[in-house]
A and B are shown apart, each in its own frame.
Chain A
Amino acid sequence: AQTVTQSQPEMSVQEAETVTLSCTYDTSESNYYLFWYKQPPSRQMILVIRQEAYKQQNATENRFSVNFQKAAKSFSLKISDSQLGDTAMYFCAFSTQGGGSQGNLIFGKGTKLSVKP
């Protein structure tokens, strides 16, 4: 079975500090894609960052970066210089190119991040 595990239900960080959210996953596919989505209190999910499994270089988007450890099936998200607007639920997800899984993003249960002033 393909699964995503986020072991931290809730986290908090002081404004301007750095926080890392954990994610592990399990799949037998060799070609897959990993994502972090953010769900602010308004509830509209938006993509934060993505990583292609065949790329060794970790993805970076401004203050957001990932630590992708393929052998360990780990995909953590690091948020630098945290801002109050980063307060949200963060979901780790992956998709594969395998047959029968079109459109099927597998999500973790999420980590609720609170950024404190």
Chain B
Amino acid sequence: NAGVMQNPRHLVRRRGQEARLRCSPMKGHSHVYWYRQLPEEGLKFMVYLQKENIIDESGMPKERFSAEFPKEGPSILRIQQVVRGDSAAYFCASSPRWDPRGELFFGEGSRLTVL
């Protein structure tokens, strides 16, 4: 039973380029969450999506960042015109339903380096 799959594991971009991070949730999970971990920091919530819907994007920067979770295929976190401050590990998690008591299942993360 595959867990949450994220790719790429490592991504290097130059300033001004676009970064696309993909996340395939666990089988049977329709809820996806994206978190960002800056160096020496804990994870910070970015966005919560259900199939084809953004439920909560209160943690997303207002510009350059977008997320989607289409009916078919993985969830995508897209960062346009990357800057050095976007360098971080981006984690995706999934769950079968929304439940504040529930466990989130995390992927291994995608590490973005902006040169």
Which of A13-21, A64-72, A80-88, A89-97 lies at the interface with chain B?
A: A89-97
The contact sample of 21 A-B pairs, CB cut-off 8 A, is A43-B89, A43-B108, A43-B109, A44-B106, A44-B107, A46-B106, A47-B103, A47-B104, A52-B101, A91-B43, A95-B100, A100-B56, A100-B58, A101-B56, A102-B98, A103-B48, A104-B45, A104-B48, A105-B43, A107-B35, A107-B42
Q: Once the chains bind, are A109 and B101 in contact (CB under 8 Å)?
A: no
A-B CB proximity, top 6 nearest? A103-B48, A107-B42, A45-B106, A95-B100, A107-B43, A47-B103
Q: Is B69 an interface residue (CB 8 A)?
A: no
Given contacts A43-B108, A104-B48, contact A110 B42 (CB under 8 A): yes
Interfacial residues of chain B within 58-115, with CB under 8 A of chain A in the complex: 58-59, 89, 91, 93, 98, 100-101, 103-104, 106-109
Q: Once the chains bind, are A103 and B56 in contact (CB under 8 Å)?
A: yes
Residue of B nearest to A103 (CB): B48
B interface, size bucket:
20 to 34
Given contacts A43-B89, A44-B3, A50-B101, contact A102 B56 (CB under 8 A): yes
Chain A residues, CB < 8 A from B12 = none
Q: Is A42 an interface residue (CB 8 A)?
A: yes
A33 to B104, CA, bound (A): 13
A6 to B42, CA, bound (A): 10
A97 to B98, CA, bound (A): 10
Q: Once the chains bind, are A105 and B45 in contact (CB under 8 Å)?
A: yes
